[in-house]
Amino acid sequence: MLRTLILAATLTLAACTDPAATTFRGTDITGAEYGKSLTLTDHHGTPRTLADFRGKVVTLFFGYTQCPDVCPSNLATMADVLRQLGPDAERVQVLFVTVDPERDTQSLLAQYVPAFDSRFLGLHGDAAQTSAVAKDFRVFFQKSGDTSGPNYTVDHSTGTYVFDPAGRVRLYVKHAESAENIVADIRALLAGK
């Protein structure tokens, strides 16, 4: 009798497990009700929305050019991700949204962001646009330090959102995730997972 119960429980559990299910290394946020839109201008002066990148996996990070550590390390990791992806990198778009529109001008973004990889795009808007996009993506940011002049820092969220080729937000990747893990997740999304 006990054997029969154990066998039945094992078969029930096996039936509930989807062998095709993907286990992502980043946090799976498929179906999230936030992070659905953005309308900003890229560092070339072109207005951009997420729909412009349909057909590609999109990574979206919020930061600022004078960030001393998190932002440059994130962009360096994403450059490594594209190198590891090889030809598949052409199916990926890395976006960097500034949370410091006061100092991060279009020309500064045009120098800073492509220095990590020429395919990266820096996005900016005015203060109201930046706040609206940050709110939609549940991104925190605020000036800190000496905010009376230009030498302030900006505290901000440090994760990266990843969209699948259909334009749906799918993953949230914590800061300092390895390039190898991000590559594995991107490859899964490119394969239609």
CATH number at residue 71: 3.40.30.10
Instruction: Name the residue range of residue 161's domain.
Output: 26-190
The tally of domains found in the chain comes to: 1
Reply yes or no on whether the pLDDT at 87 is more than 80. Answer: yes
DSSP string, the chain: -HHHHHHHHHHHHHHH--TT----SSEE-TT-SS----EEEETTS-EEEGGGGTTSEEEEEEE-TT-SSHHHHHHHHHHHHHHHHGGGGGGEEEEEEES-TTT--HHHHHHHGGGT-TT-EEEE--HHHHHHHHHHTT--EEEES-TTSS--EEEE---EEEE-TTS-EEEEE-TT--HHHHHHHHHHHHTT-
Residue 22: predicted pLDDT: 72
Report if residue 146 sits inside a domain. yes
Reply yes or no on whether the pLDDT at 1 is more than 70. Answer: no
Residue 27: predicted pLDDT: 97
pLDDT in tens, 124-170: 999 999 999 999 999 999 999 999 999 999 999 999 999 999 999 99
- What is the mean pLDDT of the segment spanning 69-91? 98
Report if residue 3 sits inside a domain. no
Q: What rounded mean pLDDT belongs to the chain?
A: 91
Report if residue 33 sits inside a domain. yes
Residue 37: predicted pLDDT: 87
Report if residue 7 sits inside a domain. no
Report if residue 12 sits inside a domain. no
Residue 21: predicted pLDDT: 61
